[in-house]
Amino acid sequence: EISSLTGEVKGELRIAVVTTAKYFMPHLLGVFVHRYPDVEPRLFVTNREKILERLEEAQDDLLIMGKVPEELEVDATPFLDNDLVVIAPPGHRLAKKRAISLKQLLNERFLLREPGSGTRLAMDKLFKEEHLVLEPYMELGSIEAIKQAVMAGLGISVMSEHNLRLELDSGKISVLDVKGFPLRRHWFAVHASSRKLSLVAQTFLDFIRDEGSAILHD
Ligand code: PGA
């Protein structure tokens, strides 16, 4: 019976997410906790490198990241699309151009995440595949700082569309039409294969897999 099962889903739920996931994870937790009021969520936010350390140290029930680690034995469940886009201030001279090449982008001042960031890793890889070297004009350790810097006209950047909802809606940031973008990635919920999930963690995993995308795109 649903009601008796609901009552059993309780206790701590420890989730660690990469910084880019902090924009949507509270919304999923909000719905989940409403359904299972006795769950005590703990949300830890940091970059990919630190998330991988936490995974090795088994500090969390589930970890949310943009790329499955190859070096560790894990179970990974994709649950949401993650489109990376190239962003510029509105009125940027490339804003009206179509099919901009990666090479053309190299003339721009790039605002990049810190080494250790999964977004940074994806960017470096993309340019490397085209035999191009992406030189940061500035490295910033936070998405908020990058967004502010883009709006201030300091340069262009790349980030997950999930992180830009408010700025795109209000027209404060523009998305450039660059070949190969949006770069489609996925969000994965990951845990060490050796770890048996608690009932709460398993219920949350099923929930984000089955309903996450619909909840966030509403
Ligand atoms: P980041 O992670 O917050 O470390 O850039 C994003 C990702 O792993 O996709």
Judged by average pLDDT, the poorest of 4-8, 71-75, 138-142 is 4-8
Cα separation, 126 vs 21, whole angstroms: 21
pLDDT band at 218 (very low <50, low <70, confident <90, very high): confident
Tell me what pLDDT residue 216 has: 92
162 lines ligand 1 (CB under 6 A): no
Asked if 15 contacts 25 with a C-beta cutoff of 8 angstroms, the reply is: yes
Which of 165, 185, 184 lies closest to 175, judged by CA?
165
- How much is the average pLDDT of 5-17? 90
pLDDT digits (tens, 9 = 90+) for 76-120: 999 999 999 999 999 999 999 999 999 999 999 999 999 999 999
Nearest atom in ligand 1 to 19's CA: 3
Q: What is the pTM of this model?
A: 0.90
Which of 99, 98, 83 lies closest to 168, judged by CA?
83
Average pLDDT across the chain, whole number: 95
Tell me what pLDDT residue 5 has: 66
The DSSP output letter for 195 is S
- How much is the average pLDDT of 185-199? 96
Ligand 1 center–CA 187 separation, angstroms = 10
User: Three-state DSSP class for 156?
Assistant: strand
134 lines ligand 1 (CB under 6 A): no
Assembly ipTM:
0.93
Nearest atom in ligand 1 to 116's CA: 4
Where helices occur in the chain by DSSP H, the ranges are 2-8, 25-35, 48-56, 102-105, 118-129, 143-151, 165-169, 199-207, 213-217
Phi, psi torsion values for 75, nearest 5 degrees: -100, 130
Cα separation, 85 vs 110, whole angstroms: 13
DSSP string, 34-93: HHSTTEEEEEEEE-HHHHHHHHHTT--SEEEESS--SSS-EEEEEEEEEEEEEEE-TT-T
Tell me what pLDDT residue 4 has: 59
